[in-house]
Amino acid sequence: MPECQNCGSFVTENYVRVFAPDGMEHPRVCPRCEDKLRDGSEIREARSKRQ
């Protein structure tokens, strides 16, 4: 099962297909990550905590 490389949360295969770079089986960050987020094709530190 795919999981987030940052927080270890389960993600769906559809999420991986859409948001992970080609050839990757696990995304670098997901919506459950509190400390990082996607910014276009890049990953950056969150400026504030998300809930």
Domain tally for the chain?
1
Amino acid residing at 2: P
- What DSSP string describes 1-51? --B-TTT--B--HHHHHHHSPTT-SS-S--TT-SSEEEETTEEEE-SS---
Domain that holds residue 18: 13-45
| Separation of alpha carbons 12 and 15, rounded Å | 5
Contact between 6 and 36 (Cβ < 8 Å): yes
pLDDT band at 1 (very low <50, low <70, confident <90, very high): confident
Q: Does 19 map to a domain?
A: yes
Q: Does 7 map to a domain?
A: no
pLDDT band at 5 (very low <50, low <70, confident <90, very high): very high
Q: Does 37 map to a domain?
A: yes
Q: In this predicted model, what pLDDT tens digit does every residue of 9-46 receive, in sequence order?
A: 999 999 999 988 888 899 999 999 988 988 888 889 88
Q: Does 38 map to a domain?
A: yes
